[in-house]
Amino acid sequence: MHRITKITGYVAIILVVLSFNFFLPRLMPGDPLSFLTGAPGMDMPIVLDEETRAKLLTYYGLDKPLSQQFYDYMLGILHGDLGWSIYHNAPVSDILIGALKWTLLLVGTSTALYMVLGILLGAISAWNRGGKSDVGLLVSLLSIGSFPPFFLGMLFIILFSVKLNLFPAFGAQTPFMGYSSLLEEASDILYHLFLPATTLVISHIGGVYLLMRNSMLNVIGEDYILTARAKGMAEWYIMRKHAMKNALLPITTMIALRTGFMIGGTILVETVFAYPGVGRLLFDAVTYRDYPLLQGAFLIITLVIIAANFVADMVYVQLDPRLRHD
Amino acid sequence: MKKGKNVAVLTLVILILECSVFGGIAAVAADEKVVKFAGDLPGGDWGYPSPFGFYPRGPGYIRMSFGFDTLTWKDQNGTVIPWLADSWEMSDDGKTWTFHLHEGVKWHDGEPFTAKDVQFTFDYIKKHKTSFKWFQTLGYIDHVDIVDDHTVVIHLTEPFAPFLVDIAGNVPIIPEHIWKDVSDPVKFVGDKAVIGTGPFKLLKYNKEQGYYEWEANDEYFKGKPLVDKLISLSVNDPALALTTGDIDETSFWGRRAKAVSAFENKSGFGTRWGPSYWVLKVIFNCERYPTNLTAFRKAIAYGINRTELVELVVHGYGIPANTGLIHPDVTEWYNPDLPDYEHNVTKAIEILNALNFTDTDGDGIMEYPEGGDLEFNLITLDKFSREAELIKSQLAAVGIKINVKVMDMSTVDGILKEGNFFMVISGHGGIANPNILEKPDWPGGTCKNETYTALFKEQRETMDYKARKELVFKLQESIAENLPVYTLYHPKMCCVYRPEKLDTWFFTKGGVGIGIPIEMNKLVFIGEEEVRPAPSLAPAASASPGTTSAPAPTPIPTPEPEQPGFEVIFAITGLLAVAYLVLRRKNR
Amino acid sequence: MTTLLEITSLRTWFPTRDGIVKAVNAVDLKIEEKEKLGLIGETGSGKSILGMSIIRLFHPSAKINIEGKIVYKGKDLLRLSEEEIRKIRGKEIAMILQNPTTSLNPVLKVGDQIAEAIQLHQRLAKRAASEKAVEMLKAVKIPAPDKMANKYPHEFSGGMKERAMIAMALACDPSLIIADEPTKGLDVTIKMQVVKLLREVTKQRSMLFITHDLGVAAEVCDNIAVMYAGELVEYAKTEDIFKNPLHPYTQGFLNSLPERGLKPIRGMSPSLINLPDGCRFHPRCDYATGICKTMHPEMAEIGNGHFVRCLLYDRS
Amino acid sequence: MTEIKDLNRFWNAYKESRLGLIGLVILLFFVTLAVFAPYIAPYDPHEMFKPMEHPGSDHLLGTNDIGQDILSELIYGARVSLFIAFFVSVVSGIIGTAFGLLSGYFEMFGFFLMRIVDAFLAIPRLPLIIVIAAFMRPSIWNLIFIFIILGWPITTRIIRSEVLSLRTRNYVEAARMVGAPDTYILMKHILPNVFPLLVVRLIIEASHVIIAESSLSFLGLGDPTAKSWGMILHYAFVYPTIFISDLWMWWMLPAGLCITFTILSLTFIGYALEELVNPRLRGMTRI
């Protein structure tokens, strides 16, 4: 029952998001052609005669009535066809995949890191609450967490790229160097990944840490912790085996949601490091009124978020036997 | 367990260290001559460089022009020079052009280039008018006849003065044997779509990263290019990329040219200045009161201090604009004696008072004759918000209250087309070419003036240069007098480069093709003696072609290069995970 | 009979925001080999804390000061390092905490929760340990122990949870068991079963049986110590306590039992933060005299092995 | 009367948190900047001098690309950023609380509202903001509107769950028994009890808004005529030589630090308050 309401909810959300992104852009001034044919502030003006303009509109199916367009679009989605990007002049799905793999790499790596770190540190600091390590961790993590990601990114560029020249300031790969081996390419990708990922990790670790710490403090008061101690278990062991699992329960959902949102949220970091990704793609799609791409990007992002929710539920069930059986 | 974690962490650390080392090595490319450049415009992706795939922007056309040639071309002095066509004649009525094509030109795939290709190209482009968005006056072409394999005759519907530049020097010739069965050219991408006659063959193109890589076309009929590889990429900060050596050339214009000062006296860097053939202008709404009053527009013109604008906003890297749109450097079209509306507040106020705009309530803001503060919106783009801020303060002195509204490009475009505005600050390039005069208030559409339109059409069909120049002057006068737009400034442009990589950069007078101000005329990379600008020929530039390691004979451009690295990364991650789990088990 | 555990002048205080909680004050207590000692008192009398103090069952970083001596088999537990005391906990001295529902970890299998102690103290392999765990479950009469071992606490009934707790305590065959209200909140029949079980499994062991349920205490214990406001007020053989309770509090406590007419003691038990001067019980005592308000009585032996802390019986 | 006593108790408890005090001090500093900007700032932030002046006696932090005094920009920036933050958090707080109370108190209404809230929470936040901001003309009020729209659901959810637990409390039950009107119960019994929680929420929301606002401005979607810290960073970031010259030291760094420290102060305050609201976090555990 609960499941069903959830799923219907998700479907509803997708529909809302889709129609929102379908209609809002079309209600706003400007259309995809305005960029195609040289919009203000661009370098070369292209003067379109009305006939050509009309032809172009027909070509991109923008002359049909909105209801028709919407119907076609929905139909397309059902057939897994996201349409043709007007600005990029390529299938939306291809473009999305191209950007998504980078975003996933970035988000995936940093999420893995900041979650593990955040959860561990949170647990440790809760376990020694009031102690030096606790206060130290608390203050330092809350502090670094306060840096806006884009500012942090700029600082990193100045420090690591300009002053120390340790890491590249932009891009996801050294452009077109002939990689002698896969490992070389992989390491080159990691090398470019380092700064953006670190930025993300630092700006997200604080939140998870705090969640975990609070949840842990609640658990520490529980009787079963005493039981474990009464059995003579070591503190570190109790924390790991008895406390952390229970402490994770209430926060899995929140963590999953954060991760889902990162997919769209990386845009700042992507902008600072000129890292190709969905966020940037979305931004351009908005600027160029590339309706199909805009819709596609939003669909993907929403799907990822919903997926994250599902994963959260799964994990939750895995962690909590009380839900597993019934 | 503890051990398990340590191991995992350690491995990760090692990986990162090692890859930073790798990366260091990796950045150093092979010993062939590679030139990397990045435009100053944001974003590096200008579309697939096929005649129908590139985004209709200067940079897009330039990238396409590396692979495709036109019948004529321009040297750095802007004079039309033979290209695919060795010579040509025009009939007296100016309606038929005969071109004698260069012999022995080959397409990248080895097929010979013939007159049939030229004929096919024009027919094809006429057929797919909407697909070739770059240029829209192909209506003048009636039909093309083939005399022999290397002679074509192009028949026009009516005389078209700028034909040699705007059509012959602009339309890329495409191979018939490839395009003849392509029905939708826009969606035709892939290695075949970029086979042209041009000096470079597209090797790789990566959309999401905005990277292009070309290799030299060694059999190029104008001679082997100076560089073996040409790479165009997208960077977040060109100046930074230039210093870190990620790119060898970029250009800055307008306010951003301030960056040049960081390189001018720096060894290992060369700089070249040029005009941008770009103008920033105030577009008035000629249909809405009060901006529909010419006098009112004049008042605003007097109220705006363009020199201060150039000083403060452009940091001096620009010149007050020609009120007739055409860039002053383009001597053959520029009308030097136009009114420039020297900043003059009192005069502005006088004019406004004459129109019964007066500050009756003494709040420093004038009132409409009908009452109510003289206050309206000035719409512009984010990148011109600085200009808008200054103009706002300047007009405040006159007694006009301006509210700056910043919107994104497409919104502004829409508003201009709807005519739902008073004043818009916007800019565009292409002001080296009289064609730009067709719609002075482009991309707006509120200023209609039959006599002007007639005048424009007339000049376009006048084949005699002197006569045509007269008409072009008239057009500029009309703009300067009626002020459908008030031009603000022409930014300067400067390219900064590493001479040891390539020293032959130059700005084409009048712009590449139909007037693209970018310093990437393909001649730069061919460096034929007579057109090479600087006598200085950097040793690296003259590196003997033979020594360079020859790349793969046939280019295999891939629109979306594979990223095998991904698998590896995921594999590594997977391994780490496994290792971790194993150790964890052990420690139990 | 040799002394297994001897507590002398034990003092357990917790400094908190609102003041110092004086949970245990100058308690002297002896537990002989195989002796079952009952520790009774109202909730909040500090009896649980006393139990926990013995094996220092507090979070290491919790602010607590324990003073006095707790000599177990010759070593003073309070002088032991955290490491050393851990070797005592569960192995030598096991504790059955009250309220099994919250005392079992909801996310771990019951079998594993028993096995981990065995693994730790008896250095057994995982499999062997879990087998032992199943045995323990059998020993506490849990049906189909091998199946139940793989189940989670929420699948156990209240009585079975309590049994599981007992099994856990017995797992490493400790010589002393501290049972803290093991019968709390169980209905009568289950309660009796558990008591029976406890009696059985502790035949060869000593037990400190903490409860406020005199009935159960009578069933299980040889001696009974009555605790009030953090200190012992009476100590005697079980039958003595029931036959002639000396301390007014003990009497009141007995009278509050159903079979004796449910007469509750008037007033409230004092907060452990600010204890009354003089006799801690005087505000609620019917026999209280002036001196009780000021003078704090000492524990004094009245008949053989019958101690009481009350000025009524003060000979001196 | 009792309120005042409560406040005192609250304050005394709060004083004990060092983090809380630090946060409060920092925040007060910025608030003072914002309030007295005209008196503190050396110049009008729109006044233009020689562009790109390096720090000197007459421009402590130099001037920006069109010659505006950066220090003055910073000081006035505090106004914009803080105003938006607090306005949004208060309004969205009020809306959120209202819905929270109602949905917690009336099942049917609650059920439907929660579905809506779920929808809101599952919609990607930043992308949505970008789309809306790109289409609506970026003026301060539009930003505020957007942030409010996206801010209330979280508050609603938090308040609701609290109300649900409060409803079962004896005194509420009792009040029901004697037939007190719902509005009375909500106002007199429930609202006061959710209040502390609400305060924490407001603080956190405020910091979120500051991040969001600066992010948008940084992406160029803010109001360029308003001098917010994010906008300063935006113009610094798009300036060509920002990374290779020393400009960043006085143009980028101060603005960035202002944002950082404001968020820091809010985080600290929020944490301190949360400790008060949820004693478990205070590190007192059951013994």
Cβ neighbors of C83 (< 8 A, separation 6 or more) are: none
**Whether residue B67 has pLDDT greater than 60:** yes
In angstroms, the separation between the Cα of residue B319 and the nearest Cα of chain D is 17
Q: What CATH homologous superfamily does A95-323 map to?
A: MetI-like (1.10.3720.10)
The reported pTM is 0.82
pLDDT tens-digit readout, D139-184: 788 889 888 988 888 889 888 888 887 777 777 777 777 777 878 8
Closest residue in chain C to residue D279, using alpha carbons only: C17
Cβ contacts from C onto D, under 8 A: 9
Q: Mean pLDDT across the stretch B70-99? A: 92
Cβ atoms of C198 and C213 within 8 Å: the answer is no
CB contact under 8 A, D284 and C58: no
Spell out which residues of chain D touch residue C102, defining contact as CB-CB under 8 Å.
none
Closest residue in chain D to residue A213, using alpha carbons only: D281
Chains near A with 3+ CB pairs less than 8 A apart are B, C, D
**Chain A window 142-161: which residues touch D at a Cβ cutoff of 8 Å?**
142-143, 145-151, 154-155, 157-158, 161
Which pLDDT score, from 0 to 100, does residue B28 have?
42
Cβ atoms of A188 and B22 within 8 Å: the answer is yes
Residue A216, chain D, CB below 8 Å: the answer is no
Q: Tally Cβ neighbours within 10 Å of residue C291.
A: 13
CB contact under 8 A, B390 and D52: no
CB contact under 8 A, B239 and D225: no
CA angle B209, B214, B216 (to 5 degrees): 165
B258: nearest CB among D137, D224, D241 = D241
In angstroms, the separation between the Cα of residue B364 and the nearest Cα of chain A is 33
Interface test with C, best of A229, A237, A252 (most C CBs within 10 A): A229
CA angle B467, B471, B475 (to 5 degrees): 165
Query: Where residue D286 falls among pLDDT bands split at 50, 70, 90?
Result: very low
Tell me how far apart the 2 most distant CA atoms of chain C are, in Å.
Answer: 66
* Average pLDDT, rounded, for chain D: 84
Alpha carbon distance A126, D281 (integer Å): 9
Which pLDDT score, from 0 to 100, does residue D109 have?
86
In angstroms, the separation between the Cα of residue A3 and the nearest Cα of chain B is 31
Q: What's the Cα-to-Cα distance from A232 to each of B126, C55, C58, C93, rounded to whole Å?
A: 88, 10, 12, 10
Spell out which residues of chain C touch residue D284, defining contact as CB-CB under 8 Å.
16-17
Cβ atoms of A188 and B565 within 8 Å: the answer is yes
Cβ atoms of C5 and C178 within 8 Å: the answer is no
Alpha-carbon C170 to chain mean position: 16
What's the alpha-carbon Rg for chain B, to the nearest Å?
28
Q: What's the Cα-to-Cα distance from D121 to each of A9, A306, D109, D157, rounded to whole Å?
A: 12, 11, 18, 10
B100 - beta bridge partners?
B87, B151
In angstroms, the separation between the Cα of residue C51 and the nearest Cα of chain D is 12
Q: Mean pLDDT across the stretch B338-367? A: 91
As a dihedral over the C-alpha atoms of residue B379, residue B381, residue B385, residue B391, rounded to 10 degrees, the angle is -40
Which pLDDT score, from 0 to 100, does residue B24 have?
40
pLDDT tens-digit readout, B283-311: 999 999 889 999 999 999 999 999 999 98
Highest mean pLDDT among B135-149, C32-46, D247-261: D247-261
Tell me how far apart the 2 most distant CA atoms of chain D are, in Å.
Answer: 74
CB contact under 8 A, C16 and D285: no
Chains near C with 3+ CB pairs less than 8 A apart are A, D
* H or E element that contains C51: helix C47-54
Interface test with B, best of A24, A35, A43 (most B CBs within 10 A): A43
φ, ψ (nearest 5 deg) of residue C302 = -95, -95
Tell me how far apart the 2 most distant CA atoms of chain B are, in Å.
Answer: 97
Whether the link from the prior residue into B49 is cis, omega within 30° of 0, is no
Cβ atoms of C25 and C231 within 8 Å: the answer is yes
CB contact under 8 A, C107 and A319: yes
Which pLDDT score, from 0 to 100, does residue C276 have?
86
Strand C176-180 versus strand C93-96 pairing type = parallel
Residue B258, chain D, CB below 8 Å: the answer is yes
B101 - beta bridge partners?
B85
* Range scoring the smallest mean pLDDT among A14-18, A210-214, B503-507, B529-533: B529-533
> Long-range CB contacts (< 8 A, 24+ apart) of A188-192?
A188/B19, A188/B22, A188/B23, A188/B26, A188/B565, A189/A105, A189/B563, A189/B565, A189/B566, A189/B569, A190/B15, A190/B16, A190/B19, A190/B569, A191/A167, A191/B19, A191/B20, A191/B22, A191/B23, A191/B26, A192/A167, A192/A168, A192/A275, A192/B23
Q: Mean pLDDT across the stretch B353-365? A: 89
As a dihedral over the C-alpha atoms of residue C117, residue C121, residue C127, residue C132, rounded to 10 degrees, the angle is -70
B386: nearest CB among D52, D65, D243 = D65
Going residue by residue through chain A (326 aa), what tens digit of pLDDT does each one get?
566 777 787 788 788 878 877 887 787 777 777 766 655 555 666 666 677 778 888 888 888 888 888 888 888 888 888 888 888 888 899 889 888 889 989 998 999 899 999 999 999 998 888 788 888 999 999 999 899 999 999 999 989 988 888 888 878 877 666 667 788 888 888 889 999 999 999 988 988 998 899 889 888 888 899 899 988 888 889 998 899 988 988 888 777 777 777 877 788 898 888 888 888 888 888 888 888 888 888 888 888 888 888 888 788 877 888 776 54
A286: nearest CB among D130, D248, D252 = D130
Instruction: Output the DSSP codes for B453-489.
Output: HHHHHHHHH---HHHHHHHHHHHHHHHHHH-SEEEEE
Q: Provide block-wise average pLDDT over 10 residues at a time, chain C (316 residues).
A: 86 83 88 90 86 85 84 88 87 88 89 90 88 90 89 88 89 90 84 88 90 86 91 90 88 82 80 86 86 87 86 70
φ, ψ (nearest 5 deg) of residue C217 = -55, -45
Q: Mean pLDDT across the stretch B351-361? A: 90
Burial of B461 (0-12, 13-18, 19+ CB in 10 A): middle
Which pLDDT score, from 0 to 100, does residue B570 have?
60
Query: Where residue B585 falls among pLDDT bands split at 50, 70, 90?
Result: low
- List strand residue ranges (DSSP E) for chain A, in order: 84-85, 90-91
Alpha carbon distance D241, A169 (integer Å): 14
In angstroms, the separation between the Cα of residue C213 and the nearest Cα of chain D is 22
* Average pLDDT, rounded, for chain B: 83
Alpha carbon distance C149, C162 (integer Å): 14
CB contact under 8 A, A230 and C94: yes
The length of chain D in residues reads 287
Q: Six-digit token pair at D28? A: 């007060």
Cβ atoms of B488 and B281 within 8 Å: the answer is yes
As a dihedral over the C-alpha atoms of residue A37, residue A38, residue A40, residue A45, rounded to 10 degrees, the angle is -110
Alpha carbon distance B454, B438 (integer Å): 10
Residue A306, chain D, CB below 8 Å: the answer is yes
CB contact under 8 A, D124 and A147: no
In angstroms, the separation between the Cα of residue C211 and the nearest Cα of chain A is 18
In the block, tokens 């406001």 appear at: C229
Q: Six-digit token pair at D2? A: 């009792």
CB contact under 8 A, A231 and C102: no
Q: Tally Cβ neighbours within 10 Å of residue C260.
A: 12
Spell out which residues of chain C touch residue D285, defining contact as CB-CB under 8 Å.
59, 62
CA angle A142, A260, D143 (to 5 degrees): 70
**Whether residue B97 has pLDDT greater than 90:** yes
Alpha carbon distance B522, B70 (integer Å): 11
* H or E element that contains C215: helix C214-220
Burial A68-92 (b: 16+ CB within 10 A, else e): ebbeebeebbeeeebbbbbbbbbbb
CB contact under 8 A, B243 and D220: no
Residue D280, chain C, CB below 8 Å: the answer is no
Burial B498-518 (b: 16+ CB within 10 A, else e): bbebbbbbbbbbbbbbbbbbb
Q: Tally Cβ neighbours within 10 Å of residue D216.
A: 26
In the block, tokens 């290491």 appear at: C60
CB contact under 8 A, B41 and A56: no
CA torsion sign for D189, D193, D194, D198 is positive
Angle of helix B2-27 relative to helix B564-587, nearest 10 degrees, comes to 160
Which pLDDT score, from 0 to 100, does residue A121 have?
94
Whether the link from the prior residue into B290 is cis, omega within 30° of 0, is yes
Residue D108, chain C, CB below 8 Å: the answer is no
A85 - beta bridge partners?
A90
Residue D244, chain C, CB below 8 Å: the answer is no
3-state DSSP call for residue C302?
coil
The length of chain C in residues reads 316
Spell out which residues of chain C touch residue A220, defining contact as CB-CB under 8 Å.
59
B516 - beta bridge partners?
B512
Residue C57, chain A, CB below 8 Å: the answer is yes
CB contact under 8 A, A265 and D264: no
Cβ atoms of C5 and C31 within 8 Å: the answer is yes
Which pLDDT score, from 0 to 100, does residue A141 have?
92
Alpha carbon distance B572, A193 (integer Å): 15
Cβ atoms of D213 and D143 within 8 Å: the answer is yes
Cβ atoms of D156 and D113 within 8 Å: the answer is yes
**Whether residue D246 has pLDDT greater than 90:** no
Spell out which residues of chain A touch residue B135, defining contact as CB-CB under 8 Å.
46
Closest residue in chain A to residue B36, using alpha carbons only: A175
In angstroms, the separation between the Cα of residue D277 and the nearest Cα of chain C is 15
In angstroms, the separation between the Cα of residue B237 and the nearest Cα of chain D is 7
Strand C206-211 versus strand C176-180 pairing type = parallel
ipTM over 0.95: no
**Whether residue B42 has pLDDT greater than 80:** no
Interface test with D, best of B312, B315, B395, B492 (most D CBs within 10 A): B312
CB contact under 8 A, B238 and D65: no
Spell out which residues of chain B touch residue D239, defining contact as CB-CB under 8 Å.
256, 258
The length of chain A in residues reads 326
* Range scoring the smallest mean pLDDT among A160-164, B524-528, B541-545: B541-545
Which pLDDT score, from 0 to 100, does residue B18 have?
46
Which pLDDT score, from 0 to 100, does residue B547 have?
33
CB contact under 8 A, A46 and B56: yes
Domain range summary for chain A, segments of one domain joined by +: 18-81, 95-323
